[in-house]
Amino acid sequence: MSKAQKALFLDRDGVINIDYGYVYEIEKFEFTEGIFELLKLFIHQDYQLFIVTNQSGIGRGYYGEDDFQSLTSWMIKEFQQRGIDRVSVEHCPHQPDALCSCRKPRTGMVEKITSKYAIDLTNSWLIGDKQSDIDLANNAGIAHTIAVGDTLINEATYSFKTIQEVQLFLEENKAIIAS
């Protein structure tokens, strides 16, 4: 059996990209400042990267699964062009009131990932901008969390206003993610 990997779980809208609300078009997708450098920090510490994103716009009929997949393919190529090649994406297409197991803070997306990959959740991190992201980490047993943005989020290991602040902090404190 292979050794369990450390993983970084990330929300998409508000973490990877600026959240303009129901982002599904490439033209409206804007990466957050510092995200590429942040992801490279984790890759250099041998983390596998997973984006776990609620996409209720699909369930609400605002855009289709094909729109989401097209944007995701484009996003992955943008990462690869910058040397970030260990990114996988899981998403929940359901509306908030759906009785699914995948919508954050439920753990279905993390369970799907851990059924495919040997992940050491006790040495893993999650970065999110909503309480449901941090709650997902707590519910799934992801040990370390970083909350990003202006909203007060309870129980996060660290909180920062921007991704760039996270990146700069971890650049200066690499030992935090090197284990």
Tokens of 158: 């660290």
Selecting among 13, 129, 133, 135, the annotated active-site residue is 13
What CATH number is given to the structural domain containing 106? 3.40.50.1000
- For residue 128, being part of any structural domain is answered with yes
- For residue 84, being part of any structural domain is answered with yes
Is 97 one of the annotated active-site residues of the chain? no
Helix axes 163-172, 35-44, angle to 10 degrees: 30
DSSP structure class, residue 122: G
Model pLDDT for residues 117-150, shown as the tens digit of each residue: 999 999 999 999 999 999 999 999 999 999 999 9
Model pLDDT for residues 69-96, shown as the tens digit of each residue: 999 999 999 999 999 999 999 999 999 9
Is 67 one of the annotated active-site residues of the chain? no
- For residue 67, being part of any structural domain is answered with yes
Q: Residue 33 — φ and ψ, nearest 5°? A: -65, 130
pTM of the model: 0.96
Confidence class of residue 20 from pLDDT cuts 50, 70 and 90? very high
- For residue 132, being part of any structural domain is answered with yes
Q: Any long-range contacts for 26-33 (C-beta under 8 Å, 24+ apart)?
A: 26/70, 26/71, 26/74, 29/71, 29/74, 29/75, 31/78, 32/162, 32/163, 32/164, 33/162, 33/163, 33/164
- For residue 48, being part of any structural domain is answered with yes
Give me the domain span that covers residue 89.
6-176
- For residue 1, being part of any structural domain is answered with no
Q: How far apart are CA 76 and CA 164, in angstroms?
A: 20
Model pLDDT for residues 32-72, shown as the tens digit of each residue: 999 999 999 999 999 999 999 999 999 999 999 999 999 99
Selecting among 11, 129, 133, 135, the annotated active-site residue is 11
- For residue 37, being part of any structural domain is answered with yes
Count how many domains the chain has.
1
**pLDDT given for residue 152 in this prediction:** 82
Confidence class of residue 112 from pLDDT cuts 50, 70 and 90? very high
pLDDT at 179 over 70: no
